[in-house]
């Protein structure tokens, strides 16, 4: 029941129509009998959007593309880890205890989400992981793996951008042409290759997949990407994009509410939503 005591949450991005976060978080609120509602909001101007969120009394907000870096300019406080990564995907709004003014604080839960998803299938410390891509998601995934004690290798079509990320992570970079010579325990695709409506795409030569024990794809539409299908056929253990989405969302939920999120319920809601699309 939405009423005057309902806490407001949501996600900002452009676009947001495809987001699965609303069903995940609203199901969690209902499961714990919390009076909260989570809504998708298409935001083009971040500065205006944040002023509106604060004025309307929002408690917590997810941030998705293309605003994860831009939003940092307009926040009152930024968690040290999010500042190091250079991207924020979670906002918390609180009233200042003295002035009563709304204070916005930014966090990054993407790196935790990817680490937790990968840890389901492999030991991170001491492992070598190949990351495909060099965008914001690759940066968060790479940061998390380095923090966990893994050795990271970056591969990206744009060599300049890939080398820049590799320097930031203090790790190795390889070109697409050099992939055949890379040996690693795991592979993570952080690119959009294979995402609907181009679901037939695959970011790596399928013949190379047998060289990895674990393959993870952060794409979740479709859930069984061409990469994951080919990886499973090659004998790899696979992790779909729902895992990272779930785990990063669970950390968000804990930041916002202080309560342990009902992860099984959230996962079931995500699967049901995907099945109905």
- pLDDT tens-digit profile of 151-172? 999 999 999 999 999 999 999 9
pLDDT(88) > 90: yes
Strand locations in 156-242 (E)? 172-174, 186-189, 214-217, 237-239
1 domain-assigned? no
pLDDT(26) > 80: yes
The range of the structural domain enclosing residue 103 comes to 7-108+246-276
**Is there a single domain that holds both residue 116 and residue 104?**
no
**Is there a single domain that holds both residue 92 and residue 188?**
no
- 99 Cβ contact partners less than 8 Å away, ≥ 6 residues apart: none
Strand locations in the chain (E)? 7-13, 36-42, 58-63, 77-78, 90-95, 102-107, 128-132, 151-155, 172-174, 186-189, 214-217, 237-239
pLDDT at 92: 98
**Is there a single domain that holds both residue 102 and residue 129?**
no
**Is there a single domain that holds both residue 186 and residue 212?**
yes
* CB atoms closer than 10 angstroms to residue 106: 23
Mean pLDDT for 100-113 is: 96
- 63 Cβ contact partners less than 8 Å away, ≥ 6 residues apart: 11, 12, 13, 71, 88, 89, 90, 91, 106
Give the pLDDT band of residue 238 (cuts 50, 70, 90): very high
18 domain-assigned? yes
Q: Distance between CA 38 and CA 43 in Å, rounded?
A: 15
Q: Of 17 and 206, which is predicted with more confidence?
A: 206
* CB atoms closer than 10 angstroms to residue 80: 7
**Is there a single domain that holds both residue 137 and residue 229?**
yes
Stated as kind and residue range, the H or E segment containing 112 is helix 110-119
Residue with tokens 């976060």, as numbered in its chain: 21
**Is there a single domain that holds both residue 98 and residue 139?**
no
Give the pLDDT band of residue 197 (cuts 50, 70, 90): confident
Mean pLDDT for 209-219 is: 96
CATH code of the domain in which 92 resides = 3.40.50.10860
- pLDDT tens-digit profile of 51-63? 999 999 999 999 9
Beta pairing partners, 91: 61, 106
Full strand arrangement of the beta sheet holding 77-78: 36-42, 7-13, 58-63, 90-95, 102-107, 77-78
- Average per-residue pLDDT for the chain: 95
pLDDT(75) > 90: yes
* CB atoms closer than 10 angstroms to residue 254: 13
**Is there a single domain that holds both residue 168 and residue 182?**
yes
**Is there a single domain that holds both residue 69 and residue 122?**
no
CATH code of the domain in which 146 resides = 3.40.50.720
User: Which residue out of 5, 68, 139, 229 is catalytically annotated?
Assistant: 68
The yes-or-no answer on residue 68 being catalytic is yes
**Is there a single domain that holds both residue 176 and residue 259?**
no
pLDDT at 32: 98
Mean pLDDT for 182-194 is: 95
Domains in the chain, number: 2
pLDDT(196) > 90: no
pLDDT at 100: 84
What percent of the chain is modeled with pLDDT above 90? Answer: 89
2 domain-assigned? no
Cβ contact 72:78 at 8 Å:
yes
- 168 Cβ contact partners less than 8 Å away, ≥ 6 residues apart: 139
Mean pLDDT for 177-194 is: 94
**Is there a single domain that holds both residue 93 and residue 169?**
no
Q: What are phi and psi of 128, to 5 degrees?
A: -115, 125
What percent of the chain is modeled with pLDDT above 70? Answer: 100
- pLDDT tens-digit profile of 121-132? 999 999 999 999
Measure CA 205 to chain center.
25
Mean pLDDT for 186-211 is: 94
pLDDT at 124: 98
pLDDT at 267: 97
Mean pLDDT for 103-108 is: 98
Mean pLDDT for 215-238 is: 96
pLDDT at 221: 84
**Is there a single domain that holds both residue 48 and residue 129?**
no
Q: Among 245, 190, 240, 191, which residue's Cα sits nearest to residue 18?
A: 245
Give the Å distances, CA to CA, from 133 to 99, 153, 163, 173, 248. Answer: 44, 10, 11, 11, 19
94 domain-assigned? yes
């Amino acid at each position: 029941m939405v009423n005057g005591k309902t806490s407001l949450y949501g996600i900002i991005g452009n676009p947001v129509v495809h987001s699965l976060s609303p069903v995940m978080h609203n199901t969690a609120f209902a499961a714990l009998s919390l009076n909260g509602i989570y809504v998708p909001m298409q935001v083009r101007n971040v500065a205006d959007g944040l002023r509106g969120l604060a004025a309307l009394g929002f408690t917590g907000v997810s941030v998705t593309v293309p605003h994860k870096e831009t939003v940092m300019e307009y926040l009152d406080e930024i968690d040290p880890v999010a500042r190091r990564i250079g991207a924020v995907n979670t906002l918390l709004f609180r009233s200042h205890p003295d002035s009563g003014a709304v204070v916005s604080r930014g966090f990054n839960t993407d790196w935790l989400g990817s680490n937790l998803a990968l840890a389901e299938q492999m030991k991170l410390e001491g492992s070598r992981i190949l990351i495909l891509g060099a965008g914001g998601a690759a940066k968060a995934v790479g940061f998390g793996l380095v923090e966990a004690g893994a050795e990271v290798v970056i591969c990206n079509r744009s060599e300049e951008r890939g080398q820049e990320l590799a320097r930031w992570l203090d790790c190795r970079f390889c070109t697409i042409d050099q992939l055949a010579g890379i040996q690693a325990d795991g592979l993570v695709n952080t690119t959009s290759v294979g995402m609907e409506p181009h679901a037939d795409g695959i970011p790596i030569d399928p013949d190379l997949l047998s060289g990895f024990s674990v393959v993870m794809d952060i794409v979740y539409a479709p859930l069984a990407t061409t990469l994951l299908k080919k990886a499973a056929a090659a004998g790899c253990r696979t992790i779909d994009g729902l895992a990272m989405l779930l785990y990063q969302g669970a950390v968000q939920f804990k930041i916002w509410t202080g309560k342990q999120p009902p992860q099984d319920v959230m996962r079931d809601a995500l699967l049901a939503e995907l099945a109905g699309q």
